[in-house]
Amino acid sequence: MGSVFSSWAGLIGCFLFLVMGCNPSREVTTVEPQAQVDEAAQPHEAEKYRPRVAKLETESASEAAPESSVVEVKPTVAANLSAEMESLMADAAAGNAAVQAELGHSYATGESGRIDFKEAVKWLRAAADQGQPRGQALLGVMYSKGRGVARDEQEAAKLFLRAAEQGDSVGQYNLGLLYLNGQGVEADSAVASEWFRKAAEQGDAMAQLNLAMERARRDNVELSMSEISGFYVKAAQQGNVEGQTALASMFAKGRGVEQNSEEALKWYSQAANSGDPKALHWMAVTYNNGNDVPKDLNKALELYTKAADAGYALSQYNLGMIYGSGQGAENRDDVALQLFQKAAEQNLPSAERELASFYEAGRGTAQDLVEAYRWYSQAASHGDTEAFRLKTELSQKLSANQIRIAELSLGKPRP
């Protein structure tokens, strides 16, 4: 059967949720296990678009990825679906469970032409209801991250278990992660190791790495960076997006491997092509600044948009800076405000500060000094010194009651 993707290998790892460090991620992954990479070590090649706070971000203060409705700032959907995509949809509508899972994955990663989490959940649920193991595993990821559905770790655990019991390595690995972290189930490292072992026996390099690290902990030794990079090489060569992203980071920094910017770019590109939001963001920064590639602002905008649509806070912020400045895209303060709001709700200090400045100036919304003070305060509480200064300046324009109202709303969503 012809399809957009030649095999299940095309489903590898596009729901990446990465945290700081270079050890295997302890967060739920989608298809093949996910890795941790050092965001802080990425290049700081930022461009300035506006005088005060126009710095594009390359490193994160938060890797949370809550559900976010898509902001249509730049179309990523082809005007007409390809004949291949139409055939895929026809097969899915006819009840082919494997194709339903594949189609759901394509909507979740943007391989359909756009990211649509609700449409992804629709097709993944159709596959899961027929007992299709990969559909169950991927639907579990959606529940574990609250994408297209309310976050429900217990439901995620049930779905991972159903997939794992049918021998699905994605379900096995992710179920192991839930038991390791005590998410949706009671923490049990022995049970976690057993599910990792089952996935590892199927050749899952990241499950193998988890087991190797667990043995190293028991023996009170540490795996060397070269040993860890060996697992990432194997995972990357398997088509594992997590391994590709982690390996790219290691080549970029020369950790465990000889530093090689061309190899870093190659592996980031492969991960980005599979929809990994962190790799998409890194590639957007690369094209934005012309690092090892010709500078291409249109390409950067496209990549930022895909990562932002997937809920990646850094790309939401950078895309907001572009639309707020009108440099690289049409000036759209309303769109910029929405993007800053999404990133701010993930506790990204620079986005919180920029959102406050928009409320203070009445850009893209009615002026609201109380809301501005609230977001300056939020950013300051997360260590942003510039936000603290701006908050202090703004306090001179507010009454004591207005400041009290703003402070009472800290950490709460706007009504």
pLDDT in tens, 196-225: 999 999 998 888 988 898 888 888 888 889
Could you give the CA distance from residue 148 to residue 76 in angstroms, rounded to a whole number? Answer: 19
What pLDDT was estimated at residue 55? 54
Could you give the CA distance from residue 305 to residue 330 in angstroms, rounded to a whole number? Answer: 14
Residue count of the chain: 415
**In degrees, to the nearest 5, what angle opens at C-alpha 245 toward C-alphas 158 and 63?**
60
Work out the angle between the directed axes of helices 297-309 and 313-325 (0-180°, nearest 10).
Answer: 130
The two three-digit tokens of residue 396, written as one number = 């001179």
List of domains in the chain: 8-347 (1.25.40.10), 348-415 (no CATH)
- Pair 202, 180: CB distance under 8 Å: no
- Pair 66, 57: CB distance under 8 Å: no
What pLDDT was estimated at residue 81? 53
How does the average pLDDT of the chain come out, rounded? 80
- If pLDDT is split at 50, 70 and 90, which confidence band does 114 have? confident
Decide if pLDDT at 4 tops 70. Answer: no
Q: What is the mean pLDDT of residues 330-359?
A: 96
Write down the pTM of the prediction: 0.68
Terminal alpha carbon distance of the chain: 49
Return the higher-pLDDT residue of 57 and 395. 395
- Cβ-Cβ contacts under 8 Å for 220 (sequence gap 6 or more): none
- If pLDDT is split at 50, 70 and 90, which confidence band does 70 have? very low
